Amino acid sequence: NLTDEQLQSEILRLKQEKNAVILAHYYQEWKIQEIADYVGDSLGLSQQAAMTNADVIVFAGVHFMAETAKILSPQKKVLLPDLEAGCSLADSCPTEAFQQFKDAHPGHVVVSYVNCTAEIKALSDIICTSSNAKKIIDSIPVDTPIIFAPDVNLGRYLKKVTGRDLVLWDGACIVHDSFSLDKIQALQTQHPDAKILAHPECSHAILEIADYVDSTANMLDYSQKNAASTFIVVTEEGILHQMRKASPEKLFLPAPLVTYTECACGECPYMRINTLEKLYLCLLREDPAIELPEELRLKALAPIQRMLELS
Ligand code: 13P
Ligand code: SF4
């Protein structure tokens, strides 16, 4: 039974010993963020995974993120502290049903948000993340019809900002779909000068009242550069750690959810499956590791590479 401090120092020791790198998403608990070599959004994490010289990548994030790292760096061992760390959005797009959806819309270019399985990536022409989605859609000739999957909220947002008529898969994230418009507006009444920062996975009504809509990394950047002293942050609460660290003089308020039954607060139940202890054990045992068939890996790699070339 090691304390958190002991776990942190053991992780750092093992990391050196095994030439491992820890890549963490902003939605991880802050104790994990603090020992990571790199903390970032989905795009930054995939770029890091593609360029690292480490022998082992410990992915403190969810399964599709670690899988993307393995697709990009097959010769490296990619560890995920708990294979159960999935994603409701990725789960909302099963392979067979998506194949049928694709067949029903022939001639469409398929743009998939990175929050999907390797099988869905393999059925896609190009991948995007929340920070490059507009740029990716804009890169496709205007007369080419597009399917966008799996997030319907991001899809609707992209229709608005690109002016394109996208065919949308009806998937969503349980966390971003649970923020309450009424409660956010009530919170803003108490803090009239607060800026609302929202992730594009949030519902249309919330994006309409947001002052800024973008990826986690860009929300963090905005919170540092914007002159406001109070921000209502409508995304997973883990990002508040970096916002408060970067701007300790500012007030960051987590956005309230519609119901408190699904999860106690704006924490992603999948992201929070990872713990310091599981991270320590997976690095010690080099297990669980991400593996995927080479044929699938190559099919999923091509659309990710197209994204990275455009980013
Ligand atoms: P970002 O790429 O903006 O960090 O988003 C990742 C994610 O899972 C959002 O729910
Ligand atoms: Fe998936 Fe939502 Fe969790 Fe992001 S916050 S990993 S989209 S379930």
CA of 16 to the centre of ligand 2 (A): 30
pLDDT at 265: 74
> In terms of CATH architecture, what is 89-174?
3-Layer(aba) Sandwich (3.40)
Q: What is the pLDDT of residues 93-126, one digit of tens each?
A: 999 999 999 999 999 999 999 999 999 999 999 9
CATH class of 176-254: alpha beta
Matching residue, tokens 């999957």: 149
Is 202 among the annotated ligand-binding positions?
Answer: no
> In terms of CATH architecture, what is 4-86+272-291?
3-Layer(aba) Sandwich (3.40)
CA gap 279, 20 in Å, rounded: 12
CB 46 near ligand 1, within 6 Å = no
CB 132 near ligand 1, within 6 Å = no
Please state the domain extents for the chain: 4-86+272-291, 89-174, 176-254
The pLDDT confidence band at residue 264, using thresholds 50, 70 and 90, is low
**Residue 111: strand pairing partners:** 126, 148
CA of 222 to the centre of ligand 1 (A): 16
User: Which residue from 28, 45, 87, 202 has its CB within 8 A of the most atoms of ligand 2, so it is best to mutate?
Assistant: 87
User: Which residue from 23, 27, 222 has its CB within 8 A of the most atoms of ligand 1, so it is best to mutate?
Assistant: 27
How many CB atoms are closer than 10 A to CB 252? 19
CA of 41 to the centre of ligand 1 (A): 6
CA gap 291, 305 in Å, rounded: 19
CA of 177 to the centre of ligand 2 (A): 10
pLDDT at 1: 86
Residue 228 has pLDDT above 90, yes or no: yes
Q: Name residues contacting ligand 2 (CB within 6 A).
A: 62, 87-89, 115, 173-176, 201, 236, 268, 270-271
Q: Give me the numbers of helices (H) and strands (E) for the chain, helices first please.
A: 15, 12
Q: What is the pLDDT of residues 149-166, one digit of tens each?
A: 999 999 999 999 999 999
Backbone angles phi, psi at 109, to 5 degrees: -80, 135
176-254: same fold as 4-86+272-291? yes
